[in-house]
Homo-oligomer: A and B are copies of this chain.
Amino acid sequence: MIVILKENPNKTQVDSLMAWLESKGIEIHTSVGEHQTVLGLVGDTSKLDMDLLLALDIVEDVKRIQEPYKNANRKFHPDDTVIDVGGVKIGGGNLTLIAGPCSVENEEQIIAVAQAVKASGAQILRGGAFKPRTSPYSFQGLHGEGIRLLKLAREVTGLPIVTELMDASHLPLFEDVDIIQVGARNMQNFELLKLLGHIDKPILLKRGLANTYEELLMSAEYIMAGGNQKVILCERGIRTFETYTRNTLDVSAVPVLKKLSHLPVIIDPSHSAGKWELVDPLSCAAVAAGADGLIIEVHNDPAHALCDGPQSLKPAVFDALAQKLRAIHEVVSAQK
């Protein structure tokens, strides 16, 4: 950590700061420049509160050099984390396709979609039972009944299931779910993250729509600090000035997150774009960029999906896409 002092700082305050830092086991390297004195702090600065330092009258700026996350940091865990979900491996060079409808609607629908996506090579079934909706007047999912139907579809197809948890109080319903999803709007719901740190189940953590890579990794850190190391990072589009697409898929997130962290990184192309025609090119782009997997909305009748309809693919379209994705993955893996 670098602490930049103001011009002509009060000497007593500087001494007291340095004494305090040394008492924390921090070694200090001082560089005196023409206009500024810079303190280089060496040692474990992850417990130092940048804001506290910034608050001091004598401090002009503070810059962090070490990343503030440890469990999620590739520097301390050079090997890829590979998460096993009922035999399906996520991370470590595998390409995992997760597919299914936005919302679970009824038995017929979820089983038909699950069978279709399985036939096209999807390894995990997605489906919303609790749906975060901007409007209190919109359909919000079948709740417990939705989870029951997902489990039924798992029974029929053998596909593990992933579904979103919106509130701690619903956790008992998720006991038998294979992967718990934390939605973008809850990425910094820290109480929920802490809770998920104490269970033994993979967590699919979506990036918030205006959250940085570092904040995403800090949210993963919340879960991992509690003991649960099975976190799957998911980029699903960020909010920018462009309004033609619902969100802007940040495909750079794939190589960057994989460089900074050992956790698997997947992409949700359906929510990024908000338009089903973009799901194909964005999925291809994600796999070409090195994503460990995709989570794609597939609906047997997109026009009647109860929510998020516009970004769903029909099973036949998904089938063609899945083939193309595997071919791209092969090219990218072979030439690595």
Identify which of A34-42, A88-96, A106-114, A118-126 touches chain B.
A34-42
Identify which of A144-152, A153-161, A173-181, A276-284 touches chain B.
A276-284
Number of interface residues of A (CB under 8 A): 110
Is the C-beta of A18 less than 8 angstroms from some C-beta in chain B?
A: no
Is the C-beta of A233 less than 8 angstroms from some C-beta in chain B?
A: no
List, in ascending order, chain B residues with CB within 8 A of A21's CB: none
A288 pairs with B34, CB closer than 8 A: no
Is the C-beta of A84 less than 8 angstroms from some C-beta in chain B?
A: no
B210 pairs with A209, CB closer than 8 A: yes
Assuming A32-B42, A210-B239, A243-B212, is B248 touching A277 (CB within 8 A)? no
With beta carbons under 8 angstroms apart, the residue of B36, B139, B289 that contacts A49 is B139
CA distance A62 to B208 in the complex (A): 26
Within 8 A of B (CB), among A289-336: 289-290, 302-310, 312, 320, 323-324, 327-328, 331-332, 335
Is the C-beta of A23 less than 8 angstroms from some C-beta in chain B?
A: no
List, in ascending order, chain B residues with CB within 8 A of A307's CB: 49, 51-52
Interface membership of chain A positions 204-243, coded 1 if the CB is closer than 8 angstroms to chain B and 0 otherwise: 0000111011110010011001000000000000111111
Within 8 A of B (CB), among A187-211: 188-192, 194, 208-210
CA distance A151 to B167 in the complex (A): 29
B244 pairs with A240, CB closer than 8 A: no
List, in ascending order, chain B residues with CB within 8 A of A19's CB: none
A30 to chain B, nearest CB (A): 8
A17 to chain B, nearest CB (A): 10
A315 to chain B, nearest CB (A): 16
Is the C-beta of A12 less than 8 angstroms from some C-beta in chain B?
A: no
B2 pairs with A38, CB closer than 8 A: yes
List, in ascending order, chain B residues with CB within 8 A of A302's CB: 55
A34 to chain B, nearest CB (A): 7
Closest to A60 in B: B65
A312 pairs with B135, CB closer than 8 A: no
List, in ascending order, chain B residues with CB within 8 A of A75's CB: 7, 35
A241 pairs with B281, CB closer than 8 A: no
A225 to chain B, nearest CB (A): 4
Is the C-beta of A116 less than 8 angstroms from some C-beta in chain B?
A: no
B320 pairs with A335, CB closer than 8 A: yes
A281 pairs with B272, CB closer than 8 A: no
Is the C-beta of A24 less than 8 angstroms from some C-beta in chain B?
A: no
A331 pairs with B324, CB closer than 8 A: yes
Interface membership of chain A positions 231-262, coded 1 if the CB is closer than 8 angstroms to chain B and 0 otherwise: 00000001111111100111110111001000
Is the C-beta of A166 less than 8 angstroms from some C-beta in chain B?
A: yes
Closest to A242 in B: B212
Assuming A65-B4, A302-B55, A305-B52, is B43 touching A244 (CB within 8 A)? no
| CB pairs A–B below 8 angstroms (18 shown) | A33-B40, A33-B66, A47-B137, A52-B309, A54-B309, A132-B188, A136-B190, A238-B240, A240-B250, A245-B256, A248-B250, A248-B252, A252-B282, A284-B289, A285-B289, A323-B335, A324-B332, A324-B335
CB-CB nearest 8 A-B residue pairs: A55-B309, A210-B210, A288-B288, A31-B40, A29-B31, A284-B288, A167-B191, A285-B285
